[in-house]
Structure 1
Amino acid sequence: MTFLGNQSQRIHGGQNTVVGIDFGHWNYLEIIQSSGSWADRSPLHEAASQGRLLALRTLLSQGYNVNAVTIDHVTPLHEACLGDHVACARTLLEAGANANAITIDGVTPLFNACSQGSASCAELLLEYGAKAQLESCFPSPTHEAASKGHHECLNVLIAWGVDIDQDIPHLGTPLYVACMSQQFHCIWKLLYAGADVHKGKYWDTPLHAAAQQPSTEIVNLLIEFGADINAKNTELLRPVDLVTSNSAVERILLQHEATPSSLCQLCRLCIRNYIGRQRLHLIPQMQLPTLLQNFLQYR
């Protein structure tokens, strides 16, 4: 946005007319093109991005278009969510903002909320009809949250029924992305919710990704949830073939190769698989001793 001071100005040039409008506390450039008009970084965008709720409400009451877009199709709602301004986002949505607006890069307000780690904005958007998942050609809120470690956003998405095994060709699954980024809490949330521990990127499993990183904690977690230490990728390499020599991760994998899984672990995996991902949340309601319930839930 360009501020003009207290005076209104008019600038002519080419096919475009640039009109400076004095609007109370706001002065901005409105660009009127021969084919129509569009607002690029309007006062509404600025108020939303800065979390200025009073100014936002004033502008809306004066008739500003709640779905005004910049040349890149960014809406005020995109700005509010990227700034984690929940009150502004709610005001915009109540005024009719499109919860599924898409920029020229395919970014939605929900993606921005998950990128910022704003679980409150994500929940709000979903309540107003935002789609938790779009086609694989668009940026994925789930993958974004997983890669940046925003496990609270993942909780929201999972609660709204997002496909936690969504496989995007150039990224893989959210679990694979989280392993590549070493986001332990996100890995835990995904596995706990029933993510397929074997699905990664093409033939690379999440364990292949984790083996190339230094975290023994993540490797142990994946194995505890049933990761196959002998799985081979397209190059016929196992996770142990990708580790740094003489590293702690290599020692962990070699130890698991020599030590079979316990009967308890195998039973837990079998029972969870039989229950199915969609019903794992019902485990606390099963007529089982609390100790057994906790065991099945990895508590």
Structure 2
Amino acid sequence: MPRGRNSPPHWGHQLGCLPCRDWGPKSCPAWGIPRPLPLLCRDMGLQNALYTGDLARLQELFPPHSTADLLLESRAAEPRWSSHQRGLWSLTYEEELTTPLHVAASRGHTEVLKLLLRRRARPDSAPGGRTALHEACAAGHAACAHVLLVAGADPDIPDQDGKRPLHLCRGAGTLECAELLLRFGAKVDGRSEEEEETPLHVAARLGHVELADLLLRRGACPNARDAEGWTPLLAACDACCPSPADAEVTTARCLQLCHLLLSAGADADAADQDRRRPLHLACRHGHAAVVELLLSHGVSTNTMDYGGHTALHCALQGAAMTLAQSPERVVRALLNHGAVRVWPGALPKVLERWCTSPRTIEVLMNTYSVMQLPEEAMGLVPPETLQKHHRFYSSLFALVRQPRSLQHLSRCALRSHLAGYLPHALPRLPLPPRLLRYLQLDFEDVLY
């Protein structure tokens, strides 16, 4: 007989016992205290009402004394290859279990969430590995997170990947969700189970300045290390630019995070298991302002990682995208803080890689008293680049095997004499600003 609009939803067979974490130790059947098992519901009308937040329809489907302790099947958006018996593979949709509470929390249906909780939905149910609180925080629905926490949801429970709700805070309601979790007892330095990341690691990696500030004010450790030895400062300096258009925004966020972490006591020279330091990562990604900030905190410019790379190596081996972020500033800052110069035999390779950034070539060449390039080096620069930067490359190749100007030789002699004291001594010299800038390798877009 067909069911009418007001008929109860069709609920399928009962499932076997769920993990004890899902039941709680005093209600698990294994303890001899049976509890009605959740029903598997395949009623499409109920699921449609849940996904659309149709409160009136759900009030009809869940009258007083009914239960919302149900399981729903959800399918992945894309089919995946899966193996069945006899070694056969087929392309099928991966099915996962969820609950009405999870659907409401992930969609931000606060009133629906309240109704389901009144109908005995369990706030910490996690048939698919996540609780409804994980879903609410991942979607940034602070009002839903508040309802669940008031109903007794565990603010520190790990999901199937070992991540706690505080690790998953995203979206417009990130700060509100994080504040609620901390107020209801979430550990500010709670770690994920595999990566051993703290929420501060996640905030730093994602460039979320406001969240990092909140966590630090609530006592988060700025020098906590994850399973690979990374600190939040390392995570912040490793921020990559998704595109040249986003370079300025990414670098600005990275700079704000580094200021914040260093002010909170982060170790500016902390190394990971591969001996990579914040300066190595900032140089590799071309974050010039961050490099200058780290150098102002006295980090070493010539420390090598396990691969034998110094910060200058990292800067010169960075991705081509760093061209949009003034790599010449990074190279100049390192050289003005005592970085060991590039081996002369490697200069042709550097010229070939960075020829489209003539200022990077300029600042490197201005640390040598003689232009140490082979005469055939001109062939390393594409004709269109030679034409675009004609004045600079004309001056560069005119100096091959030729003496440099007396003024430049004097600069080289003074910088060599000051050596390791360069970053501290140069600003203290009683010299006119223009001459001081010259000694600090100011750009002139031509070589003498």
Question: What is the TM-score when the length of structure 1 is the normalising length?
Answer: 0.74
Q: How many aligned residue pairs are there?
A: 255
1:190-229 alignment, distance < 5 Å: 190-202=261-273, 203-229=275-301
- 1:185 corresponds to 2:244: no
Letter paired with 1:152: E
Task: Name 2:335's counterpart in structure 1.
Answer: 254
Query: Residues of 2 paired with 1:262 and 1:94: CA distance?
Result: 60
Letter paired with 1:187: C
1:149 corresponds, among 199, 207, 225, to 207
1:215-294 alignment, distance < 5 Å: 215-244=287-316, 247-257=328-338, 259-261=422-424
SS across alignment from 2:158: coil
- Runs (5+) with no aligned partner, structure 1: 33-38, 266-299
SS across alignment from 2:269: coil
For the Cα contact (< 8 Å) 1:208–1:238, is it kept in 2?
Answer: yes
For the Cα contact (< 8 Å) 1:197–1:206, is it kept in 2?
Answer: yes
For the Cα contact (< 8 Å) 1:117–1:150, is it kept in 2?
Answer: no
Deviation at 1:9, TM superposition (A): 2.1
Q: What are the Cα deviations for residues 156-200 of structure 1, in whole angstroms up to 9, with x where unaligned?
A: 111121111111233611111110105222122111211000113
2:155 corresponds, among 91, 99, 113, to 99
Deviation at 1:150, TM superposition (A): 0.4
SS across alignment from 1:40: strand
Change in CA separation of 1:256 and 1:185 when aligned onto 2, cut-off 3 Å: same
Q: What are the Cα deviations for residues 271-296 of structure 1, in whole angstroms up to 9, with x where unaligned?
A: xxxxxxxxxxxxxxxxxxxxxxxxxx
Deviation at 1:205, TM superposition (A): 1.0
For the Cα contact (< 8 Å) 2:197–2:227, is it kept in 1?
Answer: no
- Runs (5+) with no aligned partner, structure 2: 17-37, 47-57, 63-67, 73-95, 240-250, 318-326, 339-418, 429-448
SS across alignment from 1:243: helix
Task: Name 1:18's counterpart in structure 2.
Answer: 40
1:30 corresponds, among 65, 70, 77, to 70
Task: Name 2:97's counterpart in structure 1.
Answer: 40
SS across alignment from 2:423: coil
Change in CA separation of 1:192 and 1:263 when aligned onto 2, cut-off 3 Å: farther
Task: Name 1:70's counterpart in structure 2.
Answer: 127
Task: Name 2:221's counterpart in structure 1.
Answer: 163
Change in CA separation of 1:65 and 1:248 when aligned onto 2, cut-off 3 Å: same
Task: Name 1:132's counterpart in structure 2.
Answer: 188
Query: Residues of 2 paired with 1:264 and 1:55: CA distance?
Result: 65
For the Cα contact (< 8 Å) 1:20–1:30, is it kept in 2?
Answer: no
Change in CA separation of 1:113 and 1:26 when aligned onto 2, cut-off 3 Å: farther
Between 106-115 and 196-205, the greater mean CA deviation after superposition: 106-115
Query: Residues of 2 paired with 1:211 and 1:56: CA distance?
Result: 48
Query: Residues of 2 paired with 1:240 and 1:40: CA distance?
Result: 51
Letter paired with 1:220: E
Query: Residues of 2 paired with 1:117 and 1:188: CA distance?
Result: 24
Deviation at 1:262, TM superposition (A): 6.5
Q: What are the Cα deviations for residues 238-289 of structure 1, in whole angstroms up to 9, with x where unaligned?
A: 2112221784322221122262236999xxxxxxxxxxxxxxxxxxxxxxxx
Letter paired with 1:120: E
SS across alignment from 1:18: strand
Q: What are the Cα deviations for residues 144-164 of structure 1, in whole angstroms up to 9, with x where unaligned?
A: 110111011111111121111
Identity level (%)? 31
Query: Residues of 1 paired with 2:105 and 2:237: CA distance?
Result: 34
Query: Residues of 2 paired with 1:205 and 1:127: CA distance?
Result: 34
Query: Residues of 1 paired with 2:283 and 2:261: CA distance?
Result: 18
Task: Name 1:172's counterpart in structure 2.
Answer: 230
For the Cα contact (< 8 Å) 1:143–1:173, is it kept in 2?
Answer: yes
Change in CA separation of 1:105 and 1:201 when aligned onto 2, cut-off 3 Å: same
Between 221-230 and 80-89, the greater mean CA deviation after superposition: 221-230
Query: Residues of 2 paired with 1:29 and 1:60: CA distance?
Result: 9
Query: Residues of 2 paired with 1:250 and 1:117: CA distance?
Result: 40
Q: What are the Cα deviations for residues 13-47 of structure 1, in whole angstroms up to 9, with x where unaligned?
A: 99797345765366899359xxxxxx932111111
Letter paired with 1:100: D
